[in-house]
Every structure is written in C-alpha cells, then in structure tokens.
Amino acid sequence: MDKKKSSGVSWTIRYALLNIAYFAAFCTIHACAAVYLLSNGFSNTEVGVLLAVANIISAVLQPLVAGVIDRPGFLTNRRFILFSVLVILAGALILMASPGKAVIFIVYALIYMVQFVYQPVMTALCFEYQKAGCNIFYGLARGLGSAGFAFTSLIIGRIVEKDGVFVLLLVDVASMLLSAVLIFTFKKPEETSSPEETERKEAAPSKGEAHNSLSSFVKTYPAFSLFLAGVVCFFFAHNMINDFMIQIIRNLGGGETELGYSNFLQAILELPVMALIGIVLKRIRADRLLVLSGAAFFVKILILVFAGSMPVMYFSQCFQLFAYAVFVPAGAYYVSETMEELDQVKGQAYITSAITIGGVFSNLISGVILDHKGIKTMLLTGSAVCAAGVLAAVFAMTRLPHHKKTS
C-alpha cells in the first residue's frame, strides 16, 4: 500500500482546515445573517422570509444533489465542494460592491442556501477518502471545525461593532479562498499512476444498489427514516434556543456579552467530544449514541424552562457535550456503517435536510409563540416537541431493523 495511504496526519490536517474554513464562514453567513441583513436596511420580516426561503430550498436540494453525486459520473464530492466554494466566493465579492436590496436578497439567499447544501457533502468527502485508504480522523477534524466557529463568533462580534458588517464579507472571501486551495489538494492516492487504470477504477460499479426514490429509501432503511422524524424534533428545539437566545438571555438579565459567552461555550465544548468519538464508538454503537444525543437535546431545553439566572443558562449549554457534539459524528458514522455505498451521500444529506426542516418549523412557529405567549410557553413547546422526537428515536433504533450493508 502507498505510504501516503497509511499516514493520517497530513490528511487530517487538510480536512480539519477545510472544516475550520467552512465553519468560520458558517458563523458569518448563518449565525450573523440577521446582523448583516438588518444593517443593510432589511426588516425583521424580510430577514425571516429570506432565511425561510433559503432553508426550504436547501432542504429540498440536499438529497437531490446527493442522489446525483451518489451515481458514478462527473459530479463528485470534491468537485461539488469546489463549485460551492466558488459560488459563495463570487457571491461575497458581489455583496462587497454594496448592491441594492433586491440583489442582496437574491445573492445572500443563494450563498446561505449553497453553504447548507454542501455541508453533508463535506462529511461524505471524509468517508469517501477514508475508504480509499486516507486515514482521516473525522471526529478531531470536525471538532476543530466547531472550535473555528467558536473563536470566530467570539472575535467577530467586537470587530463588527467597531468596523461594521463589511468585515463579515472579508471573512467569507478569506475562508472560501482557503477552502478552494485545500480542496485542490484532495487527490486520492492510487496504487498505480496509469491513467487507464485510474479511469477503470472510477468507472467500476460501486457495491450495493442505489435507492434514489424516497419510497425505496424508506423501505430499505426503516430505522434511519423514522429517526429522521426525531431529528426534525430535536432541531426544532435546538434552533429555538439558538435563534431566540438573545431573548432568553435578556429574560435572565443578560445581554449581548453573555450571548457571545454562551455561543462560545457550546461551540468549544464540541471539540473534545468530537475528537474522542472514535474511541467512544468502539464501546457504544452509533445508533445508541444517536438516542443518547436526542435525550441530551431534551434535557438541554427542559433546563431552560426552569432557568432563573445566567449560570443555569450556561449549565444548559453544557449539554451540548452530549447533544449536538455526539449527534454530528454519530450520525455520520451510522450512515457510513449501515448504508450502501451508493446511498451514503444521500444519507448524510437527509440528516442535514431533517436539521434544516426542524429549523424552518422553529422559525415559523417559535416567534409567534414568543410574541403572544412569552418565553416560557415557547420553551415548553420546544420541550414537548423534542420529547416526541426522543420517543421516535428510541422506537426507531431499538424496534425497527437496521439495514445490513453489502460487503
């Protein structure tokens, strides 16, 4: 075997940097979306419409794009990531020209949507290269991506307050340029340098059968399909907390400073768990970890129902250790271990779509409850929905059959 295949350090560093660049941009494009748009004259209603439209389109496109990538052909994980990076880079450069609101609406919705769409492809890229012999430590690399988000969120707020939202676009451009350079270095090592042999390998049929229709996919992966309904519920609650965190914090006597601390805390806590997930998976199966993560999402929001001070808020955020930090790598490994090779990008995409759908429902419902009934009723609603998701996850992972991948 090629020595490059057995060395995980170089591959892990490259993949970690790709994640850091992605989540630094994710912080500026997604977490700071309202900050950017409001400063450019958008109303709260217009911001909500833009984000809802972008989320809905991305939820639809994720499995469709994955279905195309799963089929042997020109479009690969690597090429789609490069295409996405270039679209976001071009969009950020257009926004730097300070166009009118109509152009900002279209371009911002596009880059917001594209970044969501290529998120599961990033995960699929890792497992594709692992199968090719590139020893990438997924958990560590993904955890460093969360650390990149954490430090970006900690720093960017003060800079934006001082210098304005233009700096968000500068971070986007820098992140996408770094991503483009990194993705060019992702070339799978081959046993032979013969172009003819390379073409034969790429043209060879993959193991297993692709299940591109929704009905076929659900029939083949019943446990995973029901679990996705649970994921929608988990992220209804998760996004409720994140989207309305400033209102929750103000209700507890805090402000923007405490918001920054809270975001930093939950993001940085993801690093150690994701870094060690490979060790944990040797002792606890991925399906059981997914159920555990769902229970942690529930506990996290339930604590907030009874919170009366900021320390309790911070205590709630600590459950990110067992919720999102476990969910992301466990979901990725579950798909890799149980799904046919031709379904794996779709599997990752369906997880991201379920996350996105949960966020859309949260955006549409939580604000209305908050305006009319208050924070506690909103959090109680989120807790009830999340509890239903936990029940669905438990039934799915303990009572329904898991697909056995073709060897």
What parts of the chain have a pLDDT lower than 50? Answer: 1-6, 191-194, 197-198, 200-204
Angstrom distance (rounded) from CA 48 to CA 66: 27
Q: Do 1-188+196-202 and 210-407 show the same overall fold?
A: yes
Which tokens hold the place of 285? 């199966």
For 235, the token pair is 């992220």
Fold of the domain built from segment(s) 210-407: Growth Hormone; Chain: A; (1.20.1250)
Q: Which contacts of 287-290 are long-range, i.e. CB under 8 A and separated by 24 or more positions? A: 287/223, 287/334, 287/397, 287/402, 288/397, 289/326, 289/330, 290/227, 290/326, 290/327, 290/330, 290/331, 290/334, 290/393, 290/397
pLDDT of residue 207: 56
Reported as a single tens digit per residue, the pLDDT across 216-266 is: 888 989 999 999 999 999 999 998 888 777 788 888 988 767 877 888 888
Provide the CB-side half-sphere exposure for 250 (13 A, CA): 7
So what's the pLDDT on residue 159? 84
pLDDT tens profile 62-93: 888 888 887 877 888 999 999 999 999 999 99
Q: Which two tokens stand for residue 304?
A: 């907030």
Would you kindly state where each structural domain of the chain is located, as residue ranges? 1-188+196-202, 210-407
Whether this prediction's pTM lies above 0.95 is answered by no
- Which secondary-structure segment (H or E) carries 173? helix 166-184
CATH H-level superfamily of 1-188+196-202 = MFS general substrate transporter like domains (1.20.1250.20)
The per-residue pLDDT for 342 is 83
Q: Residue 192: its pLDDT value, please?
A: 43
